[in-house]
Structure 1
């Protein structure tokens, strides 16, 4: 699948114009991962947002016993890594390819360039990231509540 089609299919970019979508496709890098390949480790400094194009990735975090716990399995058109872009903090989980996976990567620098060219479009993207984070927090709270 071509980069533009993947970006256009992502809910993060649903309000963008065709010109803005084209620019993001130009900025995005393609990453091919083999099964088990680590995309980033818990504790790495966050600097990129990833879109799943093909395959699946697993998000895991070490428990208090030091063993990894799967938090989510993501498939197309889901995305991950956005937290590192927002707060420039260290990754709170490890993400690895569960099977062969193809990803698109947008770095913080890519998004700064996009913001400088398309401020309104960038604002839409940030709002959609915030909506996604709020939804993920609600889901996590619901899971925690059901475990009690």
Structure 2
């Protein structure tokens, strides 16, 4: 196995910083880093559009991302503004469905990306680490769903 590159070390550090993968061991972060990439997105740039095929997910390292949906009148509605440490786009990567919303850089952003193909490769190469990553994403999604359920309930009272 080759020596980790500076880029892999940076990705490993970003993965450790994001707080999403508390169940991973230090060696897991190093192994997982080879499957992620880094991208820089300028403010106002679309990361993906509602309805697109979901070929990758992201974790925000720096910056903010606006989650937007088009309502029945064709107007864009901001559903949420995501900050560093948040994952997005993971639903489409996990379930193979189309994007449920558009994501646009609300400021200049640095993102960690995990492609669907890379996740599949990780599942084959390092299944225990991939399982920890998928479990962490599932827990994150579960928390968000519970929060949304609570918000729906409070709106009905």
TM (norm. structure 2) is: 0.87
Query: Does structure 2 retain, via aligned residues, the 8 Å contact 1:58–1:96?
Result: yes
Q: Distance in 2 between matches of 1:31 and 1:58?
A: 17
Q: Distance in 2 between matches of 1:145 and 1:47?
A: 33
Deviates more, 1:134-143 or 1:97-106: 134-143
* Aligned CA-pair RMSD: 1.6
Task: Give the counterpart of 1:13 among 21, 37, 54.
Answer: 21
Q: Distance in 2 between matches of 1:123 and 1:145?
A: 32
Q: Which 4+ residue blocks in structure 1 deviate beyond 6 angstroms?
A: none
Structure 1 residue ranges without an equivalent (≥5):
none
**2:85 is the counterpart of 1:77:** yes
Alpha-carbon deviation of 1:15? 1.7
1:68 maps to which residue? 76
Q: Distance in 2 between matches of 1:113 and 1:41?
A: 25
**2:66 is the counterpart of 1:51:** no
Q: Distance in 1 between matches of 2:95 and 2:52?
A: 13
2:120 maps to which residue? 112
Query: Does structure 1 retain, via aligned residues, the 8 Å contact 2:92–2:99?
Result: yes
Alpha-carbon deviation of 1:135? 1.1
Alpha-carbon deviation of 1:132? 1.3
Task: Give the counterpart of 1:99 among 96, 102, 107.
Answer: 107
Alpha-carbon deviation of 1:12? 3.5
Q: Secondary structure at the match of 2:34?
A: helix
Alpha-carbon deviation of 1:86? 1.2
Query: Does structure 2 retain, via aligned residues, the 8 Å contact 1:23–1:114?
Result: no
The one-character-per-residue Cα deviations of 1:95-118 (angstroms, maximum 9, x if unpaired) are 000011110101011111211222
Deviates more, 1:8-17 or 1:91-100: 8-17
- The count of corresponding residues between Structure 1 and Structure 2 is 148
Q: Distance in 1 between matches of 2:123 and 2:17?
A: 20
2:5 maps to which residue? none
